[in-house]
Structure 1
Amino acid sequence: MAAIYDQLASIYDAWSQADPADSDSVEFYKKLGQSEQGIIVELGVGTGRIALELAVSGKNIIGIDISDNMLGICQDKARELGVSDRIHLITNDIREFDLPEPADLIYLPFRTVGHLLNQNDRLKLFRSVYRNLNVGGRFVFDHYMFSEHWAKSNERKQRLMCVIPCENKKFIYVHDIYLYDYENQIMDCRIIVENVDEVGLVTLKRYIAFSFSWVTIAQIQELINEVGFEVDDMLGEFNGNKWTEQSENQIWVLRKTKK
């Protein structure tokens, strides 16, 4: 996964902002972090879209990511914003990490749990988070509610995600294509990145591919029971609405209540 996001780093912000859930998700985690008085950790911090806003608001935050290129962009942004002293970045796999001291809030935003393709890897994540939380600390993460209807309607279709303006009237076009393995709950994502010159000719075309999983409520509940978390809340939307069977998202607020 490090190699994938090293390739995506330069286009990541524009690509992710094309997702309809992006702005609501970012706002949700910003409010979550701003309300926390203790140690805050963002897993999958990437280019720092959430963490840097928290740092600007005065919070100290630890960010963990597996991609050096993504963290490099985050560090450059922190320097430009004058908050390098409030954000500590660590290159690490989120399945196996250890903090210098326990945290009070660990969050994993923007469906990043989907990069863990099986229950064993997700269990490693949950155990690492639990181990690194103070008693009373929270673990907050989200994922979408998988829609087979949406998947079958959009499978194998090339979707234009964003157009990135460059110098000298040049552009970068980013497209996604999704392929589904319904039995194993795996989506194979093919990202097509095209550099287009000022007269409309494609001067460079590259493909970036990765696999992504969707998880069910029952699978998350299994992990909660295995590790020992308590469910503080379960939301269905980033505006704070409770989860229902019609919800498009599953947003979990878990708490460590004992050692």
Structure 2
Amino acid sequence: MNYKDWAEWYDIFYSSSENEEEKYYQEISKNFKDKILEIGVGTGRIAIKLAEIGKDLVGIDSSIEMIAKAEKKIKDKKLSKNISLLNADMLNFELNEKFNLIIIPANTLLLCKNEKEQIKVLKNCAKHLTSEGRIIFNVYYPDDEMINENNKDEFLFNTIHLKNGERYILYGKNNFDIKTQTNEGTQIIEKISNDGNLLFRKNLKVKTRYLYPEDIIKICEKSNLIVSSMKRDFSNLPVDEFTENIIVFAKKITPL
């Protein structure tokens, strides 16, 4: 994954969303006191929303380019006193404090190469969690129909209209491997002039290792965590066959 390219275009892709994820984490965070740790803070999309309701956060990200984008946005919104940013890898970060709430939004856990790395991240998070704390993360639901089709064709994701008449057209393309449970995805952005000419086209690669609900339970157990609940699509509804996003609530396994 080329984080330099993603840092430039990340906010364009998420500007087309309905902000369900940001609103969900805002509401959840109201149930927790003290500082929050966000893994994979990116350009600050979610951290800023939490800071706007008075939350204090530490955000880590392995991408210097993402951190730089986040710092500028945070400074512009005068939220620097609420958010501390660290350039650190989620596999091996070390902080001298523990948190009541750790969040891993935006499929970030799926950016790990394999199950071993996913467990390593969760173990590290558990180490930074208070005894009564919670880890909350969300991952896309691996829809069998989508995976089995696997036709590698581009599909329209969204269109963003700009004030000057230009527009961004966003596409996606998948390439699933069911043996390794990975997807070599491509996010495509085209900018179109107000007279319909293509101004540029950019391909952004992202590889994810997807997880089924039973996988989530297994890797949490291997990470000294227990799943207390799983919800669907940023709601309080249980996961079912219509789920697009799984939201996982986990806590430390209480020692006997």
RMSD of aligned residue pairs (Cα, Å): 2.3
1: CA distance, partners of 2:141 / 2:166: 37
The question of 1:138 aligning with 2:134 is answered yes
Could you say which residue in structure 1 is the equivalent of 2:116?
120
Could you say which residue in structure 2 is the equivalent of 1:103?
99
1:23 to 9, 19, 23: 19
Secondary structure of the 1:95 match is coil
2:188 to 188, 192, 205: 192
Secondary structure of the 1:85 match is coil
Q: How many residues align?
A: 255
2: CA distance, partners of 1:160 / 1:246: 20
Secondary structure of the 1:146 match is coil
The question of 1:214 aligning with 2:210 is answered yes
1: CA distance, partners of 2:254 / 2:153: 48
Return the offset for 1:242.
2.4
Secondary structure of the 2:42 match is coil
Alignment-mate amino acid for residue 34 of structure 1: K
Return the offset for 1:141.
0.8
Alignment-mate amino acid for residue 241 of structure 1: L
2:5 to 4, 7, 31: 7
Could you say which residue in structure 1 is the equivalent of 2:51?
55
1:160 to 146, 156, 163: 156
| Contact 1:141/1:252 (8 A) holds in 2 | yes
- Which moves more between the two structures, 94-103 or 161-170? 161-170
The question of 1:33 aligning with 2:68 is answered no
| Contact 1:178/1:187 (8 A) holds in 2 | yes
1: CA distance, partners of 2:234 / 2:204: 29
| Contact 1:140/1:253 (8 A) holds in 2 | yes
1: CA distance, partners of 2:15 / 2:191: 19
The question of 1:75 aligning with 2:89 is answered no
Secondary structure of the 2:156 match is strand
1:87 to 73, 83, 98: 83
Q: Cα gap change, 1:190/1:85 in structure 2, threshold over 3 Å: closer, same or farther?
A: same
CA shift digits 1:199-220 (9 cap, x unpaired): 4333433322221121122222
1: CA distance, partners of 2:119 / 2:202: 34
2: CA distance, partners of 1:247 / 1:204: 34
| Contact 1:126/1:227 (8 A) holds in 2 | yes
| Contact 1:136/1:257 (8 A) holds in 2 | no
2:227 to 231, 237, 240: 231
2: CA distance, partners of 1:231 / 1:181: 27
The question of 1:45 aligning with 2:36 is answered no
Secondary structure of the 1:73 match is helix
Alignment-mate amino acid for residue 107 of structure 1: I
Alignment-mate amino acid for residue 180 of structure 1: F
CA shift digits 1:176-223 (9 cap, x unpaired): 211111222111112233343454333433322221121122222222
Identity %: 24
Q: Cα gap change, 1:46/1:238 in structure 2, threshold over 3 Å: closer, same or farther?
A: same
2: CA distance, partners of 1:224 / 1:88: 27
Alignment-mate amino acid for residue 210 of structure 2: W
Return the offset for 1:31.
1.0
- Which moves more between the two structures, 118-127 or 143-152? 143-152
More helix by share: 1
TM-score (norm 2): 0.88
CA shift digits 1:70-113 (9 cap, x unpaired): 22222112112111111001111112111231111101112222
- Which moves more between the two structures, 200-209 or 101-110? 200-209
Could you say which residue in structure 2 is the equivalent of 1:201?
197
TM-score (norm 1): 0.88
| Contact 2:158/2:169 (8 A) holds in 1 | yes
